[in-house]
Structures are given as structure tokens and as C-alpha cells.
Amino acid sequence: MEPYRIHVFVCTQQKPEGVSSCPARGSLAVLDRLDKEVQARGLAGEIQVTTSGCMGLCDEGPIMVVYPEGLWYRHVGPADAAEIVDRHLCNGKPVERLAWNDAAAMKAMSVEHGEKFRAAVAAREKAGVLPDHLMQMIRSYMPSRCILTALELDVFTAVGNGASAEQVGTRIEANVRAVGMLLNALVAIGLLTKDGDQYRNTPDSARFFVQGSPHNRRGGLLHTADIWHRWSTLTEAVRRGARLAREEAEVEEWTRNFIAGMQHNARDRAPQVVRALGTGGVRRILDLGGGSGIYSIAFAKASPEIHCEILDLPEVVPLTSDYVRHAGLSAQISLRAGDMLHDDLGSGYDLVMLNAICHMFSEEQNKDLFRRARQALAPNGRLAVQDFILNPDKTGPQQAVLFSLNMLVGTEAGASYSEREYAAWMEAAGLTDVQRIHLVGPSDLIVGRAR
Ligand SMILES: C[S@@+](CC[C@H](N)C(=O)[O-])C[C@H]1O[C@@H](n2cnc3c(N)ncnc32)[C@H](O)[C@@H]1O
């Protein structure tokens, strides 16, 4: 018995290169469009749109089936979605030009497709062809690089409400032929659409990558584009066991993008951290390497009784100052330019925070930092570390493991660490009641108390 009035299945089965498949014919865009049309009509509770494995008829794809009547559609495109929803799903009248009900032909095609598919897989297996999933993994830098280049050149803003390659090329002052190739790739990736010679942003790219959108994330993502260059040095960094020298000319812009990137990443996490740590009994906070000040700002907003002090590098403090001033919290947040690894950290703090800091440093540097942070705490004060936390065998979670390499190519001696390591360093520093607090997202808190 269906829990829905109507259940629609759209084939999204990926196939090896050379074997026809519904996704290769655009079924993912159909699925997305159908979903949106259903939601736009407020029908999500009664009409369920579901992905499906191969239904054997991909040569006629994109294929979809509508239940309870079991009616099949073929050659469906995103532009057909509204009509299918209106005519068929809402009014019970199939869209005849797309309907396919020749059961004998369908059966024959399904058998033939199955044989072709199995033969293709067997032939590739015998020839020792690299499987598609490995190839995809190896080439995954290509779409990533296209997006990063588009962000660096502000292509999505230049596309705006619709533009040709010539117009985009003129706006971003780049070669028109090459811009056309990049725009076509962005269409293939699914971040632009193309109609004639006009390119348009998808809802996602218009929302997140275009200047003027309230959710524009480009500023923060430019840091990811900067990091790309470091990742190209990974082979040499692994050989040497250390990062390669930085391009000094890039440092100032790099720092601005870095702090903006951190601020974007922490937007949804800062209020979570305030809730997780609480403001009870907290009056003085030391925010080591506070960057954009986003965590201090969240605490200061949570209680007018709280005063925060942010210690960061001299080249970062002017940027921090701008963020704090913009938040209107200069009276509650003071700034100190310095080096947390060598400076006296002060004393009497109820909370010392290390948000996204420990991964920059070696084990020895962290142990020493925890010891000095402990000395800066008032009785009953807490040290809170927020970071990507590795599993005990250090092979997961994937983001934390990959981030360790990000530190190899980007810092002198940084890495991701495990909960066991953080807990041991806290206990060695004289902190007690060490606990891990899970946050929504890729990082967690480890908190210890000074007794
Ligand atoms: C990864 S960011 C984290 C920023 C901020 N805590 C956040 O989570 O958004 C690291 C911060 O530590 C600062 N930093 C790095 N080394 C430092 C040092 N030796 N002393 C003080 N600050 C440092 C950087 O300038 C940067 O602001």
C-alpha cells in the first residue's frame, strides 16, 4: 500500500562510459525539475518523486514511471516536468506525446539493453579498463578547477541575468573563445544553463556566487581557490615532509581571503558553539587566533556581561577590527596583536577558545599551548578546542583526514588530531572533566576544566 497518492520513479542509474544511461541523457535535471514543480504546488505530502536504478530502457531515456497506474514516460526533459505535474499528477490525464505503453517493445528493449550492458561490462573487465568510479575520482579536480576559476574571475556575476560568451568575456576582460569553453563546461557541470548563445545562472549559482545576492559565498570561497595552489605542491611536500615556501607577493590578498573564508565557514557554527558551551559563569573570554572574531561576536551578542579578548597575528588584527566594528561590538571585544605560541596569554579567563587553531600546530606546540592556556584560566574556567577530530586510527572522517594534508601543504608542522590526542594534552596540562561535544557539521568541541 503506497503512503503517497502518486509515486514517481525517475531512473538515475549511472552506467559505464559508452553504455547509454538516463543520467547521461539528463535524468538528474528532470528529477530536480519534477521535485521543484511538485513542491511549488504544495504537493510534496501526496506526490513522492524518487530516484530509481536501471529500468532497462535507457536507450529511450530519460525514463520515468508513475504509480499507481504504472504509466511509463520516455524522452522526458526538464521542460516537460510542469506539464506532467499539471496534466497527469494533478488532473489524471497522461501526457500522451511522452507516454510509452508498447509492453512488447519495452520488454524486448529491456532484454537487449541488459545483454548489451553485461557484455560491455565484461569486455571492459577483460581489457583491464580503469573502472569509471576510479576515473571519476582521479579526474574530479577538473570540475572543481572550473568552478574555482569561475569564482576567481567572477564569471557568475558577469553572467548575471543572462549573457553571451562575448558579453561575459568583455565584462571579465578575458579571451572570448576560452570564456565560451569555460561557460560550456559550467553548463555541463550544472552551474549554468544555455539557451542559444545566452548563458544563465542556475538558482544555486545565482544565490551563492553572484555579487549582490544576500547569500553570496564567493568571498569566502576565494580562500578555497587560493588553497588549490598549495595542493598542487602535495607531491613535493610529501617527499620533503614539509610545505614549500609561500609566494610572498600573494600574502596580503591571501590573508584577506583566508579570514573571509573562516568567517563564512563559521557562520552557522558560532551560535552552536555558544549554545554548546553556555554563557553561565562566563565573563572573560580569551579567543586565541580569533580571526574574523566570529566566535567572540557570537558570545558578546549572547550576553552583555561578557568581555572577549581576541589575540591574533599583527597582520590579521586590522581585519579583525573591521569585523568587530561592523558588528557594533567594539566595547565588548578588545584586540591584541601577538603570537599565541610565544606571548604571555594573561590570566583570570573563564573561557579560553581555540577554534580551528590546533590543526595549524605540531603536537609539541599544542601541548605547550594547552599548558599556557591552562595557566590563563580562572579557577573552574574552561579550555575549549574546536576542530576536525580524527578517528583513533586516523583514516576517517574523510574531511578530517584530507584536512591533515591541507595542513601538510600549508603549515610548518600542522595536522588533524584524534580525540585521544586532544584529551591526553588537556590532561597533561592539568585540565579535568575532559569531554567531547558533537556539533552539527564537520568539527566538534573538546572541553576541559581547570579545577
Ligand atoms: C584557521 S583560522 C581560525 C580563525 C577563527 N578562530 C575561526 O575559527 O574562524 C586561524 C587563526 O589563527 C591565527 N594565528 C595563526 N598563528 C597564530 C599565532 N602564532 N598567534 C596568534 N594567532 C595566530 C590566524 O591569523 C587566524 O586568524
How many angstroms does the Cα of residue 316 sit away from the middle of ligand 1? 8
Q: What is the pLDDT of residue 120?
A: 85
For residues 376 and 353, give the distance between their C-alpha atoms in angstroms, rounded to a whole number.
11
Residue 36 exposed, middle or buried by CB count within 10 Å (0-12, 13-18, 19+): middle
For residues 335 and 427, give the distance between their C-alpha atoms in angstroms, rounded to a whole number.
29
Whether the predicted pLDDT of 17 surpasses 80: no
For residues 353 and 442, give the distance between their C-alpha atoms in angstroms, rounded to a whole number.
18
In the structure, what pLDDT confidence band is assigned to residue 19 with cuts at 50, 70 and 90? confident
In the structure, what pLDDT confidence band is assigned to residue 342 with cuts at 50, 70 and 90? very high
Secondary structure class of 72 (helix, strand, coil): strand
- Cβ contact 5:47 at 8 Å: yes
Place of cell 494533478: 90
Pocket of ligand 1 (CB under 6 A): 262, 266, 289-292, 294, 311-313, 316, 339-341, 355-357, 360
Q: What's the mean pLDDT in 210-228?
A: 94
What is the CATH number assigned to the segment(s) 140-216? 1.10.10.10
Number of other residues whose CB lies within 10 A of the CB of residue 305:
10
Q: What's the mean pLDDT in 396-407?
A: 96
Q: What is the pLDDT of residue 151?
A: 98
Chain centroid to Cα 349, Å, comes to: 34
Selection from 237, 125, 139, 124 nearest residue 188 by Cα: 139
Whether the predicted pLDDT of 249 surpasses 80: no
Place of cell 584529551: 423
Ligand 1 atom nearest 316 alpha carbon: 25
What is the CATH number assigned to the segment(s) 261-450? 3.40.50.150
Ligand 1 atom nearest 289 alpha carbon: 12
Q: What is the pLDDT of residue 132?
A: 84
Phi-psi region of 328 (alpha: psi -120 to 50; beta: other; left: phi over 0): left
- Protein residue with least CA distance to atom 3, ligand 1: 356
- Ligand 1 pocket: which of 251, 254, 315, 340 to mutate (most atoms within 8 A of CB): 340
- Protein residue with least CA distance to atom 18, ligand 1: 339
In the structure, what pLDDT confidence band is assigned to residue 247 with cuts at 50, 70 and 90? low
Q: Torsions phi, psi of 344, nearest 5?
A: -65, 130
Chain centroid to Cα 393, Å, comes to: 25
Whether the predicted pLDDT of 251 surpasses 80: no
In the structure, what pLDDT confidence band is assigned to residue 117 with cuts at 50, 70 and 90? confident
Please indicate whether residue 358 or residue 17 has the higher confidence score (pLDDT). 358
Whether the predicted pLDDT of 224 surpasses 80: yes
Q: In 207-344, which ranges are E strands?
A: 284-288, 307-312, 333-337
Q: What is the pLDDT of residue 250?
A: 61
In the structure, what pLDDT confidence band is assigned to residue 260 with cuts at 50, 70 and 90? very high
Whether the predicted pLDDT of 438 surpasses 70: yes
Residue 280 exposed, middle or buried by CB count within 10 Å (0-12, 13-18, 19+): exposed
How many angstroms does the Cα of residue 114 sit away from the middle of ligand 1? 56
What is the CATH number assigned to the segment(s) 6-122? 3.40.30.10
Q: What's the mean pLDDT in 315-343?
A: 98
- Which residues have C-beta within 8 Å of that of residue 282, sequence separation ≥ 6? 299, 303, 306, 350, 351
How many angstroms does the Cα of residue 288 sit away from the middle of ligand 1? 7
pLDDT tens-digit readout, 118-137: 888 898 889 998 988 899 99
Selection from 450, 442, 449, 448 nearest residue 272 by Cα: 442
- Protein residue with least CA distance to atom 15, ligand 1: 289
DSSP 229: H
Long-range contacts of 233-240 (CB under 8 A, 24+ apart): 233/409, 234/405, 234/408, 234/409, 237/408, 237/409, 238/408
Average pLDDT, the chain: 95
Structure-block grid coordinates of residue 374: 591552562
pLDDT tens-digit readout, 141-151: 999 999 999 99
pLDDT tens-digit readout, 32-87: 999 999 999 999 999 999 999 999 999 999 999 999 999 999 999 999 999 999 99
DSSP 163: B
- Angle between helices 141-152 and 176-189 in degrees, nearest 10: 130
Helix (H) or strand (E) holding 432: strand 431-437
pLDDT-wise least confident of 13-27, 79-93, 172-186, 403-417: 13-27
Ligand 1 atom nearest 315 alpha carbon: 25
Q: What is the pLDDT of residue 14?
A: 86
For residues 299 and 308, give the distance between their C-alpha atoms in angstroms, rounded to a whole number.
8
Selection from 399, 398, 387, 352 nearest residue 373 by Cα: 352
| Size (the chain), residues | 451
pLDDT-wise least confident of 4-18, 327-341, 353-367: 4-18
Please give the full DSSP string across 351-407, using - where no structure is assigned: EEEEET-GGGS-HHHHHHHHHHHHHHEEEEEEEEEEE-EE-TTS--SHHHHHHHHHH
Domain boundaries, the chain: 6-122, 140-216, 261-450
Peptide linkage before 68 cis (omega within 30 of 0): yes
In the structure, what pLDDT confidence band is assigned to residue 16 with cuts at 50, 70 and 90? confident
Whether the predicted pLDDT of 408 surpasses 80: yes
Q: What is the pLDDT of residue 222?
A: 94
Structure-block grid coordinates of residue 286: 580569551
Whether the predicted pLDDT of 248 surpasses 70: no
Structure-block grid coordinates of residue 196: 542559444
In the structure, what pLDDT confidence band is assigned to residue 245 with cuts at 50, 70 and 90? confident
For the chain, the first-to-last Cα distance in angstroms comes to 60
